[in-house]
Amino acid sequence: MHLSPDQIIFWQHGFFKLNATIAYTWGLMFVLAVGSKLVTRRLSTGHQRSRWQNLLEIIVTGIANQIKEVGLSQPEKYLGFLGTLFLFVAMASLFTIVPGYEPPTGSLSTTAALAICVFVAVPLFGIEKSGLGAYLRAYLKPTVIMLPFNIISEISRTLALAVRLFGNMMSGTMILAILLTITPFIFPIVMSALGLLTGMVQAYIFSILATVYIAAATRVRKPKPEPDASIEA
Amino acid sequence: MLIDWFTVGAQVINFLILVWLLKRFLYKPILNAIDAREKRIAKELADADARKAEAQHERDTFQSKNEAFEQQRATLMTQAKDEAKTERLRLLDEARQAADSLSAKRQETLKNDAHHLNQGIARRTQQEVFAIARKALTDLAGASLEERMSGVFICRLRAMDDQTKESLAVALKSTSDPALVRSAFDLSEAQHAAIQNALNETFSAEIHVRFETAPDLLCGIEITTNGQKLAWSIADYLVSLQEGVDELLKEKSQPEEKSAQGANEQGT
């Protein structure tokens, strides 16, 4: 019994090792990349198109619309990062229906890696949008006293992001494993279905939170209008 | 330890590679395909709009052409009708004129025929009557007839109206030549004397008279002097007979003309 797929190690050479997390991640990457390549190899620009193309178009446009709804006016710019976050987490959950598969998102290392990516991406997008000075000044709002709290908020929300996904995915796998030992029939199937649902919800939550953080960082803060001197006089 | 920092680093790199892969194989081609389709649809819509506008334009052109054609057709139709009407009237006039001329010609012919017939009848009648008269007079010619004729001539001489008498008197006085008395047959001495006497009495003067026989007078006697003439002849009766026959023929031909005219009017 192990809590994380990190503990299943296939190969190790000093600091370098190949554990289940990395292996399954590669598997997912392979499936996603090859699947996309296969579908987009023969894209149709006409009115008639394949089912797979329809599916991918729905997914891509759905993600883009979601990003737009949150408040990012140019979804194509963020689609690569946020869409990949969602697709990776969602596929990781979806593949739990394959026996013997351990979702890489059930490892705190993976979720931490994803959270670190978000932690780095948010200021990068913010600086790209409004410049370094304007971005850093945002930490001093509304007063300088708020600076440590703002920094703590950044770190804690990244931690929360990592732990939330890890907890959900790990718990799902754990519950399934425990139930299999108690009631091996029927009940694990229901739980597995429930696990799929929570997996999808977590994928949505993870990516939507990342979107919200980026949107918050890139929002153009309009300077408050100076009080009119003539009126005061 | 739940976090393996090597795995974290590896996953970060894996994730970044996945981002690149998906951008390369998924998002870009799909978004490009959607853009291309949107452009194509927009182009098709624009084309459809253009075609619609063109069709509208063509329809308008066709409609205006059609209207112009209808108008032209109506004008031509009216023109043709007018022309046909004029032509019909012209033909009718021509026909009427032809019929009139034919009728006139026919009437002329009829008139000529009637005239010729009339003349023929008159001539014939005259000839026949003359022949009969001549025959009768020849058969009857004798002293008594000649006597009677000269008697009648003398009577007429005496019964002459004043105007004729005046003009004859002037004529007799104005010339020195003797008055010529012509008769169809030889007059006897007694008759010569009776005529001489009658003349003398009538004009109250001595009239010089020369007697002459002229068979063409056809049973009659006449006195001629200086252009004036007094005569009695059977020919006078024959002339009056001829006038009577002419009158009769004229009366007969008039109803025929009237009926022919009536028939022509009904025909037009």
pLDDT per position as a tens digit, B209-247: 888 887 666 667 788 877 777 777 766 776 677 677 677
Going by pLDDT thresholds of 50, 70 and 90, the confidence category of residue B75 is very high
Least confident interval from A35-49, B17-31, B55-69, B214-228:
B214-228
The reply to whether A185 falls in a domain is yes
Has residue A229 been placed in a domain?
A: no
On chain A, the residues whose CB falls within 8 A of the CB of B8 are 109-110, 112-113, 116
User: Which of B12, B20, B22, B35 is the mutation pick for testing A, counting most A CBs within 10 A?
Assistant: B22
The whole-number pLDDT of residue A230 equals: 44
Average pLDDT, chain A: 86
Structural domain includes residue A45: yes
Q: Which of B2, B3, B21 lies closest to A29 in CB terms?
A: B21
- Do A211 and A122 contact (CB within 8 A), yes or no? no
Contacts A–B by Cβ distance under 8 A: 120
For residue A231, the model assigns a pLDDT of 43
Percent of chain A clearing pLDDT 70 (strictly above): 93
Cβ pair B244, B125 in contact under 8 A? no
pLDDT at position A89 is 93
Cβ-based contacts of B38 with chain A (< 8 Å): none
Q: Please count the structural domains in chain A.
A: 1
pLDDT digits (tens, 9 = 90+) for A3-61: 778 888 889 888 888 999 999 999 999 999 999 999 888 888 877 888 999 999 999 99
* Distance of alpha carbon A34 from alpha carbon A42, whole angstroms: 13
Whole-number mean pLDDT of chain B? Answer: 82
Question: Sign of dihedral through CA atoms A164, A165, A166, A171?
Answer: positive
Residue with tokens 């001595």: B206
Please report whether residue A231 resides in a domain.
no
Residue A84 to residue B20: CA distance in whole angstroms: 9
What is the distance between the alpha carbons of residues B169 and B175, in angstroms, rounded to a whole number? 10
Contact, A165 vs A106, CB < 8 A?
no
CATH 3.30.360 fits B142-238, yes or no: yes
- DSSP class per residue in chain A: --S-GGG-EEEEETTEEEEHHHHHHHHHHHHHHHHHHHHHHT---SS---HHHHHHHHHHHHHHHHHHHHT-S-HHHHHHHHHHHHHHHHHHHHGGGSTT---GGGSHHHHHHHHHHHHHHHHHHHHHHH-HHHHHHGGG-S-GGGHHHHHHHHHHHHHHHHHHHHHHHHHHHHHHHHHHHH--SSHHHHHHHHHHHHHHHHHHHHHHHHHHHHHHHH---PPPPPPPHHHH-
Under DSSP, the state recorded for B178 is P
**Using a CB cutoff of 8 Å and minimum separation of 24, what contacts does A44-48 make?**
A44/B33, A45/B33, A45/B36, A45/B37, A45/B40, A46/B37, A46/B40, A47/B37
pLDDT tens profile B101-157: 998 888 888 888 888 887 777 677 767 776 776 677 667 666 567 777 778 888 888
B3 pLDDT more than 90: no
Residue keyed to tokens 């718990």: A171
Max mean pLDDT range (A124-133, B42-51, B202-211, B245-254): B42-51
Q: Is A60 on the interface with B (CB under 8 A)?
A: yes
Using the predicted structure, report yes or no on whether residue B159 has a pLDDT greater than 50: yes
Nearest to A92 by CA among A36, A29, A147: A29
Domain membership of residue A11 as a residue range: 5-224
Residue B136, SS3?
Answer: helix
Residue A91 pLDDT level (bands cut at 50, 70, 90): very high
Residue B164: the pLDDT is: 82
Query: What's the angle, vertex CA B15, arms to CA B14 and CA B19, rounded to 5?
Result: 120
The contacts of residue A95 (CB under 8 Å, 6+ apart) are A24, A28, A101, A103
Greater model confidence, B163 or A206: A206
Residue B264: pLDDT over 60: no
Domain ranges of chain B: 10-101, 142-238
| Residue A229: per-residue pLDDT | 43
Judging contacts by C-beta atoms under 8 Å, the chain A residues touching residue B29 are: 40, 43
Answer yes or no: do A25 and B16 touch at CB < 8 A.
no
> Would A232 be classed as within a structural domain?
no
**Among A57-71, B1-15, B245-259, where is mean pLDDT lowest?**
B245-259
